[in-house]
Structure formats: structure tokens, C-alpha cells
Chains A and B, each alone.
Chain A
Amino acid sequence: MSVRHGSFTLTRRYDATPARVFAAWAIPEQRSRWNVHGSWTVTEQTFDFREGGEEVKRFGPAGSDPVHVARTRYADIVPDRRIVMSSTTRDREVLTSVTLLTVQIGPDGSGSQLVLTYQAVMLDEGDRIRTARKAGLRSSPSWARRSSTLLPRLRGRCPRHRGRRGHESHITTTHDPSVRVRRRHLPIRMGRAT
């Protein structure tokens, strides 16, 4: 039995209005286009985007029978501004983590800034890793990788352009020192999805 608590924050700038960025989370057809990374696949997804709404997503590496199931409950939704949700993730019916995820969206010049804060408790990690090794699986997908494919239909801009004159952020977020802030400066290219 073990528990490990962790957190991280990701910041992105998108050349799209807060309403469009919010819609990419709120509207099922739009979220389906980006909310799984790279070679992973989603085989089951229900949508219920409202406060108190619950969703189920079954996912895993493409070509395998997905064994990861995430159940998400939306706790707080402020249109175009904020989404707070809690999730459980199970691997072959075994609970592996419970997560609190906050998405904050605000205007940033002509575009938007998105701040994603992930707080979680990882359960019985050693046991889980041994199980995963036996099954030859890789680690579960991370939000950092997923956010690099975030909103593929929106044109994004590298976060280092933030802070330019006239690009004042309207997002207020405060973190205690235990929250690790990761600012990535990848030239995120978000072309039009075909």
C-alpha cells in the first residue's frame, strides 16, 4: 500500500478566443479530436459536460484491448473561463489514481491563455508498475503530452510570446510552493485538422 501526492501546472497560449478554447472542452465532437495523444486510442467515451455530470472514457495503446478507464465528474463550470473536475483512473479495474484537474481560460491579447493545474494522488504505484511491466505496457498518458496535441483545430502560438505589450493575462491563479510549475517553450504547431 502506498500513496504519492503530486501536482503540476501547464500554461499555453492559443490564437483563438476563450469561447473557442472553452468549446474545445465543452463540445463532445470537438474534444474527441484532441483529447487522446499520439498512438493511444479511445474505445469508449460518454459525454455529460455540466456541473455534476459524469463521463467515462476507456483508453489505451492502439492495437491493444484498452484496460484504462477514467471516470470524470465535473464539479465547477464557468463558461469560457473555468472547468474544475475530479477523475478516477482504473487499470484493469484497479484504482490507480484520483485527480483534481482545473482548467482556467482567459483572454490574452487577441488570443487566449490556458492554465491547467493537475493535483493527484497516485495509489500503490509499485504494485501498479510491476503489473504494467508484466503486461508489457508503457506508462499512462500524461497531460503534458496530451496538451501538445491540444486543440488541433486551433492555431496556437509558442508560450514565450506571452507577456508582450497588450497581452495582459486575465487569469488569476495562485500556487503553493509544493505545486511544480512547468513552463514549456515548445513551438507548438497547431495546423488545421483534416
Chain B
Amino acid sequence: MTERSVRHAKFTIERIYPAARERVFGAFADPRSKAKWFVGPDNWDKSDHTLDFRVGGKETVSGGPPGGAVHYYNATYQDIVPNERIVTTYEMHLDKTRISVSLATVEFKAAGSGTKLILTEQGAFLDDFDKPELREEGTRGLLDQLGAALEKGVV
């Protein structure tokens, strides 16, 4: 019998960015801005990033270490409240193997002159191909990249 397992998990990450809420939200909403920070490590091979930012719209990006397995991200936008909230569902594949199905909520709240971002991910991690701890670590890395892009003024 093929071994099948599911690990369900939830994690929450909070960040405060010294940037207006409209700008932080814009870094998610504008395809050119999002492509600047929503990418894998520098040394990875990468695909083009596509984003159709509207309810029902899709987002795709893939990448991986040279010669290694390719990670595919495929998301659907379920809820968008401008400058306040984004809810997506997304799947990750490693080459042709589906490794997770997730529900991700990003909230944007004014914090003084800056923005508090709260990201909550609820996921089903399949057949031990991926771990929630690694996903959380990877997501923290992406939010760090967003912080750096805001600081540099490129988003």
C-alpha cells in the first residue's frame, strides 16, 4: 500500500513595516511590484511570475536550485478588500508531485505611520514531502524580502 499521510497545521507571522498601508498592499496587488519580492533564493532558476489580482484570478510562479526539483506555486484569489485583506488558496508541487494545499490570509492594519501585516496560513501538507516548519521559514524569508524591497523603495 502506498504510504499516504496528511499533516494539518496553522502558523501566523506578524511584521511591522515603516510604510503606508496602501504601499504595502500595493506590493501584493501590483504584478510588477510583487514579482520583485515574491521570489525564491538568488541562486535559483526562476520562471516568469504571473498575477491576475482579482477575486477568482490566478497567480503562478516556479523555481528551484539549478538542476534540482522545481517548486511550483499556483494560487487562486478568493477575497480581496483593498488595503485591508487578501485571502488565497494555493497548491505547491515539487516537479509533478502535489505537496501541499493551503489557505492563506493576509491582513493589513495601520500601525502609527506604518503597517502591521498579519499572515495566517492553514495548510494540509501531503505525504511528508513538505513540512509546515519549512513553509513557515520560507514565508518569513519572503516577508523579509518584502521589507527589504520597501526599504529600497523598489515597491
Contact = CB atoms under 8 A, between A and B. Distances in A.
B16 interface: no
Interface string B112-131: 00000000101110100000
B80 to A, nearest CB: 10
Interface in B46-95: 76, 78-79, 81, 84-85, 87, 89, 91
A153 B103 CA distance: 33
Interface in B4-59: 4-10
Given A98-B78, A100-B102, A172-B4, A5 B89 contact: no
Contact of B122 (A73, A82, A104, A119): A119
Contact of B8 (A7, A98, A121): A7
B24 to A, nearest CB: 16
A56 interface: no
Interface residues of A, number: 33
A119 B4 contact: no
Interface string A153-194: 000000000000000001011111011000000000000000
B105 A5 contact: yes
B134 interface: no
**Dominant secondary structure of chain B at its interface with chain A:** strand
Interface string A1-21: 101010101000000000000
A100 B124 contact: yes
Contacts of B76: 73, 86
Interface string A93-113: 001001110101000000000
A82 B98 CA distance: 13
A179 B10 CA distance: 8
A1 B84 contact: yes
Contact of B123 (A76, A100, A120, A173): A100
Nearest to B88: A98
A176 B9 contact: yes
Q: For the side of the interface on B, what is the size category?
A: 20 to 34
A5 B4 CA distance: 26
B7 A174 contact: yes
A7 B6 CA distance: 15
B8 A82 contact: no
A84 B101 contact: yes
A86 B103 contact: yes
A42 interface: no
Contacts of A31: none
15 contacts: A1-B84, A3-B107, A5-B120, A5-B122, A7-B10, A82-B4, A84-B124, A117-B6, A123-B87, A172-B6, A173-B7, A173-B8, A174-B5, A174-B7, A175-B7
Closest 9 CB pairs of A and B: A172-B5, A119-B122, A86-B89, A174-B7, A75-B101, A100-B103, A176-B9, A98-B78, A84-B101
